[in-house]
Amino acid sequence: MPAEKGPAMAGRLETRARPSAEASPLVLGLDIGTTTITCLAWEPRSGQVVVVATLDNQAQTTSQEGRERGHSEWDSQQMLKTAYRCVADVVAQLGPRSRDVAALGLTGQQHGVVIVDEALTPLTPFIGWRDQRGNEPWGVGGCSTVDEMMTRLGDDASKRLGCRPATGYLGTTLYWMQRTSCLPPQGRACFIVDLCAAMLTGSAVQTDPTNAGGSGLLNLADRQWDRQALELLEIDRRWLPDICEAPTTAGGLDDRAAAITNLPRGLPVMVGIGDNQAAFLGSVADRTESILVNVGTGGQVAMYSDAVLTAPLLETRPFPGAGNLLVHAGLCGGRSYAALEVFFQEVGAQILGTGPLSPCYSAMLKAAEQVADGSDGVVCSPFFTGTRSEPQLRASWSGLSPENLTPGHLTRALLEGMASAFAGSGHLIFETTGRSATRVVGAGNGLRENRLLALLVAQAFELPMVVASYREEAGLGAALVAAAGVGICEDLHHASQAVNFG
């Protein structure tokens, strides 16, 4: 959920140093996110994050017309330049301790795609996970790309693939490019984090099942590209990168990358993992007893399973190395809270003539905390932009009266609606796995910075909640993969156990 900050400045650099008393091996984790790009250094011996650097991701290039149509296009080269700056800043903060860095782990948006040539030069923009062109009517009959894919794949495909086609997924965008004759004559489809690994090391583009699962084209059973889906969609296998299991080394830093980042040539760089799975790794110490609620711009509920389990409204996403996450994704999150804040700002500007104001999230929270549980009968469906299964769904408030039509009631009802949605997702996961959890782990700024939402989520689940102590959950998860990949930690399970979550 948005923090109450001033306007973002171009090139804003946020850094935090947490010095360690004594040298020991360090690993870096780089998270190429939608809003920000973050790098951190983690010390396995103490379990502490010691240095963090964050930069705004200002690489969006979507035209005004494209924005109006819901498109999401980005300059992948600019994104990677920002990522390299983050790494270099962490190295600078570490000073002499940069010599202790043993490996670099990567994570980032596990949906979206950019097409590159053999020299890794982008042939298309990076089309991000928020992109809506897959839902646009197209051609005779006005059938959308997603609808056509579902017809071709059949109703049972999600049992193999772990998800239904969705706009913004690599597979959906690739099929849209084919369908609209926008696909370059040759090239390779990349997730942004896989392009980053290839650019840092000079190696061939590779991916892992956690990212490939976010394409809608992965077979859950063998964790490789699903041949049947590729044949039905007429997608040539040559467009897709090879898949290898985490933790796997993509290669060593090449000379150019070493010069840019100020890290030693040959430093091991891991094949990247999906950000959802990385955030789970960086938040959850005991994966068998916890359910994760991650609230950022959107919202996700996730729980680990050793088995391959599927359900119509859930996505089954491969977990690094083995196992899976059962995920209900694309839920309401910070963008819903932000939409209500914008409404209040508009009331001030258009009705009261107050002019531009600073963000009023704190005032909204204070007003909501003065309202009793149940919001005096006001009920909110908080899905301003729909859900993955119902993209046309929109938000609404009901039960309004002259007495409860107040900012506090509208805000609390929104937060109660969000908490109810998360708990409903959790209970669906419990039913699918046949087991419950002993605690909720909260992650993301939406829970960390909104004490009322955290309380309401715990009440809705009827379970105790622990909020992850680190803001950089996904980056930390990437660092854990690096630690396991170079043998500092025995495996990912032991790496998670080494994190100091206190």
Q: What is the pLDDT of residues 60-79, one digit of tens each?
A: 999 999 999 999 999 999 99
- Measured CA to CA, the distance from residue 188 to residue 113 in angstroms comes to 10
User: 288 lies in a domain?
Assistant: no
**Residues 434 and 478 both lie in one domain:** no
Q: How confident is the model at residue 500 (pLDDT cuts 50, 70, 90)?
A: low
| Strand-strand pairing, 101-108 and 26-32 | parallel
**Residues 157 and 227 both lie in one domain:** yes
Q: Can you give the pLDDT at residue 88?
A: 98
Name residue, tokens 């009331």: 347
**Residues 233 and 358 both lie in one domain:** no
Tens digit of pLDDT for each residue in 283-325? Answer: 998 898 999 999 988 899 999 999 999 998 899 999 999 999 9
User: 309 lies in a domain?
Assistant: no
List all residues 6 or more positions away from 79 whose beta carbon is below 8 Å from its beta carbon.
Answer: 32, 37, 57, 59, 126, 192
User: 314 lies in a domain?
Assistant: no
**Residues 255 and 345 both lie in one domain:** no
Ranking 20-34, 332-346, 357-371 by mean pLDDT, the lowest is 20-34
Looking at the whole model, is its pTM more than 0.85? yes
User: 293 lies in a domain?
Assistant: no
Q: Looking at residue 80, which CATH number applies to its domain?
A: 3.30.420.40
- Whether the link from the prior residue into 247 is cis, omega within 30° of 0, is yes
Q: Can you give the pLDDT at residue 5?
A: 36
User: 306 lies in a domain?
Assistant: no
Task: Tell me if residue 464 falls in helix, strand or coil.
Answer: coil
Higher pLDDT, 238 or 356: 238
Query: To 5 degrees, how large is the angle CA 16–CA 110–CA 311?
Result: 125
User: 14 lies in a domain?
Assistant: yes
**Residues 367 and 477 both lie in one domain:** no
Total count of domains within the chain: 3
**Residue closest to 452 by CA, chosen among 357, 360, 361, 387:** 361
Count of helices and strands (H, E) across the chain: 17, 26
Tens digit of pLDDT for each residue in 237-257? Answer: 999 999 999 999 999 999 999
**Residues 364 and 445 both lie in one domain:** yes
Q: How confident is the model at residue 165 (pLDDT cuts 50, 70, 90)?
A: very high
**Residues 485 and 408 both lie in one domain:** no
**Residue closest to 2 by CA, chosen among 497, 337, 247:** 337
Find the DSSP H helices in 118-164: 145-153, 157-161
**Residues 343 and 363 both lie in one domain:** yes
Q: How many CB atoms lie within 10 A of CB 403?
A: 9
The percentage of the chain sitting over the pLDDT mark of 70, rounded to a whole number, equals: 95
Q: Can you give the pLDDT at residue 138?
A: 81
Q: How far is CA 77 from CA 48, 164, 193, 491, in A?
A: 31, 30, 12, 33
Q: What is the span of the domain harbouring residue 485?
A: 8-59+71-110+191-208+244-282+472-502
Tens digit of pLDDT for each residue in 396-441? Answer: 999 999 999 999 999 999 999 999 999 999 999 999 999 999 999 9
User: 495 lies in a domain?
Assistant: yes
| Strand-strand pairing, 101-108 and 273-274 | parallel
Judge whether residue 332 has pLDDT over 90: no
User: 318 lies in a domain?
Assistant: no
Task: Tell me if residue 480 falls in helix, strand or coil.
Answer: helix
**Residues 491 and 439 both lie in one domain:** no
Q: Can you give the pLDDT at residue 17?
A: 44
Q: How many CB atoms lie within 10 A of CB 230?
A: 16
Judge whether residue 491 has pLDDT over 60: yes
Q: Can you give the pLDDT at residue 468?
A: 78
Answer whether 18's CB lies under 8 Å from 48's CB: yes
Token output for 389: 């299964």
Judge whether residue 10 has pLDDT over 70: no
Token output for 195: 């392009």
- Which uninterrupted H or E stretch holds 32? strand 26-32
**Residues 256 and 174 both lie in one domain:** no
Name residue, tokens 């860095």: 101
Please give the distance of CA 302 from its chain centroid, rounded to a whole number.
12
**Residues 393 and 271 both lie in one domain:** no
Indicate the length of the chain as a whole number: 502
**Residues 22 and 38 both lie in one domain:** yes
